[in-house]
Structure 1
Amino acid sequence: MTGGDRTPAPRPGPTTAQLPDVPDVFDPRRYADGLPQDAYRRLRDHHPVAWQEEPEVLGWPAGPGFWAVTRHRDVVRVLKDARTFSSHLGATQIRDPDPADLPFLRRMMLNQDPASGSPRRSDEAGSNDHGRLRRLVSRAFTPRRVDRFTTVVRERARALLTAAVAAARTDGDGVCDLVTAVTDDYALLNLADLLGVPPGERGLMLEWTRRVIGYQDPDEAGPAVAGADGRPANPRSPALLQDMFAFARELAAHKRRHPGDDVMTALAADRELAVPELEMFFFLLTIAGNDTVRSAAPGGLLALARYPEAYRALRGGAVAVESAVEELLRWHTPVLSFRRTAAEDTELAGRRIRAGEKVVVFHGSANHDERVFAAPDRLDLARTPNPHVSFGDGPHVCLGAHLARLQLRVLYEETCALLPAVAVAGPPQRLVSNFIHGLKSLPLRVAA
């Protein structure tokens, strides 16, 4: 059973006669003005697991609908319980992939289930590769290797910030767009160093990231490519990723001839890794590894600019930068949602969910759940404990979290060292996306 094109039959659950209407948190255009925290709060308080319609929007086809999960406790349960809530059955994006693309998408460990999560589903033999693939990439993507990049990362942060301040002073108004001047290059070049991508090829990584991550935003996605049905093709379909995969194969061949101390050298030399698996690793690391920091870094700096007392406390050493990183990740959640598919009939927060139906967790809501975070709308850089879910949870917790934390910590340290104050100089431009909490532009006053 796949969930079909039907609207689900009414299910017994909490009495809804006196409850507020269910707000829409699906439409990507809602996120262009920031996270819909009022809608999230209404869902958490009254409809913690709520059916959402999935109409046609921005030229993308309508879907069958899904269950939106907004409370922290329920989000964590879904992320941890791979046996009930599968990544393999329908992959991990809200939009249903073309069924013909599913075997291809299941090569990526993000779209697999751990072996312990799927012993009874005969169609999921390949999902047992999940643990093997995580072990393989962990051998290459180790904290030890990442730590070697700390010096380079620090030098890059300092150079980009210094150049941004100099340019802002030259222009005379002291203002720069932090996204284009600092954070886009910072995330991209750090990842390129880690992967071992040659300098002349690094612009391709940003192009691919924009295509895959920003596909809901016309400014980021570029001209839509039509599929066989005339609709915009899914940017994660095999046809639209061939250029990236060809580059991954060429880079791997180059690394076998000219090895370096980088992740692609390690992956290319691993005899356990098949070529299609290596291609999908490159896809995952390029897209997820780039865009998590690319989204989190300007979001954290925007928060510090809007709360100067918090910035002064961080700059003066009153709070530890490590705890500040965690709070800024909670405050500006970089990845907003992930999809699972119910593998069997189940119940969540009093709602009956049928096998085959989509279940979507909303990290940005879970990170502001009053049941877990005291005064969640207050930026508290010393907040502890801080069990945010910005890197997920369970068997798919982000493998690159160590690298992301390192980059964010260094960027905030160098910002504090170089800039006595930062202030918002204009409204930020946000990505039109219900998946990534991105900033396309962030005007900050960085120089007197």
Structure 2
Amino acid sequence: MTDDAATVFADAKAYTDEPRLHAAMAHLRAHDPVPRVDHGPYRPFFAITKHADIMDVERDNNLWLSEPRPVLTTAAADDVARAQLESGAGLRTLIHMDDPHHRKVRAIGADWFRPKALRDLQTRVDELAKRYVDRMRDIGPECDFVEEVAVGFPLYVILSLLGLPEEDFPRMHQLTQELFGADDVEYRRGATLEERMATLLDFFAYFNELTASRRAHPTEDLASAIANGLIDGEPLSDVDTASYYVIVASAGHDTTKDAISGGLRALIENPGELERLRREPELMGTAVEEMIRWTTPVKEFMRTAAEDTSVRGVPIAKGESVYLAYTSGNRDEEVFDDPDTFDVGRFPNKHLSFGYGVHFCLGAALARMEMRSFFAELIPRLDSIELAGTPELAATVFVGGLKHLPIRYSLR
């Protein structure tokens, strides 16, 4: 049973079957919290299922390195990515980097996500939240909430922050779906590795043009800050610049879309909690944290041991990799009371959805702001809401959530 349970980490379809997924993870936490997973087409790894162990790995970024295997990809994709980077090409985002280079690159965009910058952005986010709730009202009484509402709101926020033209937003959405949806037949561009890599090449072609434009004619936006960022007095490499854009433009909206849509589904399926939040709007902050824990849009990151070590008594040799199972850590019974209960007043809520340590999500505060604004606008205007069909989850081993959420509602 333990061997069968451990295969969920290497099975994209497992994330579309929540009862199976959470039962398997609960079994592993209780009986084999650091299983070795050897399940093709992936190279072997150790899954870290306990909250405390995940935090310990995240804390020690000298022992546990992001390079050369920051996320779970197939052995073939690992080899291609490594060859591309060795040749000066390929994707190298913040999640691929280790300190001290990581810290220097992160600093280029950090000011755009600090409290002062976000306070300046609050009015715009509130305006966009109202626009998308109004849109929801106008297209009602039924809609696919993911496709018609949840995608557009955070996409508009982050791409506006970057300074991209609105006519390019659909293209960015499609490329993001293809990038994170490579394991989902509805989202992926093709079945072969070459077809999937073409998505990344399209991203790079777009952002290389953007870099040239912003270096020639800087503007007051995040794209200009990235294009003209300096490391030790030198411009970012072309790879690092394009990769910076890719992670901000894709993860900067797609993960928030997953949390918003999954959060709404949780409220629909737990009407008592929806009514509680309606009666006690001061719970919005804790409700948003619970939605983020509940959905866990980023399922995992990988780390590689820089020297021989162990986790919970399990020996892990230098060069071997661990899989940080955030979805499992966010349901750890030793940390969360009744972890399988959705509780809008949950406090404390030490979820791991934004990571921990030096790689803590750069855009976490923005995501929280967007979610608070959206639900603060939506919930007082809702007269009724229910599912109008079966929710559909994306197949993934990295980032994902709902791809369809059909709802029926009455909205003022």
Which TM-score applies when normalising by structure 1?
A: 0.84
Q: 2:393 aligned to 423, 430, 437, which one?
A: 430
Among 9, 29, 33, which residue is 2:17 paired with?
Answer: 33
Which has a greater percent of helix? 2
Q: Is 1:301 equivalent to 2:264 in the alignment?
A: yes
Which aligned pairs between 1:36-185 and structure 2 lie closer than 5 A? Answer: 36-55=21-40, 62-96=41-75, 97-98=78-79, 99-103=82-86, 104=89, 107-114=92-99, 128-168=100-140, 174-185=141-152
The 2-side partners of 1:205 and 1:425 are apart by 29
Q: What's the offset of the Cα at 1:105?
A: 5.2
CA 1:194–1:303 in 2, change beyond 3 Å: closer, same or farther? Answer: same
CA distance, structure 2, for counterparts of residue 318 and residue 241 of structure 1: 42
The answer (yes or no) to whether the contact 1:91–1:106 under 8 Å persists in 2 is no
Q: What whole-Å deviation, never above 9, does each CA across 1:231-288 have from its counterpart, x for those lacking one?
A: x2384x5x64232222223223333455443211222333443233221110111121
Q: Distance in 2 between matches of 1:380 and 1:389?
A: 17
| 1:246 corresponds to | 205
Q: Distance in 1 between matches of 2:195 and 2:121?
A: 34
Which has the higher mean CA deviation after the structures are superposed, 287-296 or 139-148? 139-148
Q: Displacement of 1:145 after TM fit?
A: 2.6
Q: 1:208 aligns with which of 159, 168, 175?
A: 175
Identity over the aligned pairs, expressed in percent?
Answer: 33
Instruction: State the 1:412 CA deviation.
Output: 0.9
Q: How many residues align?
A: 398
Gaps of 5+ in 1: 1-18, 56-61, 115-127, 169-173, 227-231
Say whether the 8 Å CA contact 2:183–2:396 is kept in structure 1.
Answer: yes
Other structure's SS at 2:46 match: strand
Of residues 191, 194, 202 in structure 2, which corresponds to 1:233? 194
Q: Secondary structure at the match of 1:340?
A: strand
Unaligned runs of 5+ in 2: none
Residues in 1 aligned to 2:377 and 2:281: alpha-carbon distance in whole angstroms: 16
For the residue of structure 2 that corresponds to 1:422, the secondary structure is: strand
2:50 aligned partner, one-letter code? R
| SS state at 1:223 partner | coil
Q: Secondary structure at the match of 2:304?
A: strand
Given that residues 209 and 290 in structure 1 are in contact (C-alpha distance below 8 angstroms), is that contact kept between their aligned partners in structure 2? Answer: no
Tell me the alpha carbon deviations over residues 70-97 of structure 1, each in whole angstroms, 9 at most, x when there is no partner.
1101111122222222101323334341
Give the aligned residue type for 1:265.
Answer: S
Specify whether residues 268 and 106 from structure 1 end up closer, same or farther in structure 2 by C-alpha distance, changes over 3 A only: closer
TM-score (norm 2): 0.91
SS of equivalent residue, structure 1 residue 149: helix
Which digits, 9 at most, give the CA deviation of each residue in 1:83-136, with x for residues without a partner? 22210132333434113134445742211112xxxxxxxxxxxxx311111112
Q: Is the 8 A contact 1:337 1:360 kept in 2?
A: yes
Match of 1:353 among 316, 332, 338: 316
Q: CA RMSD in A?
A: 2.1
Match of 1:364 in 2: 327
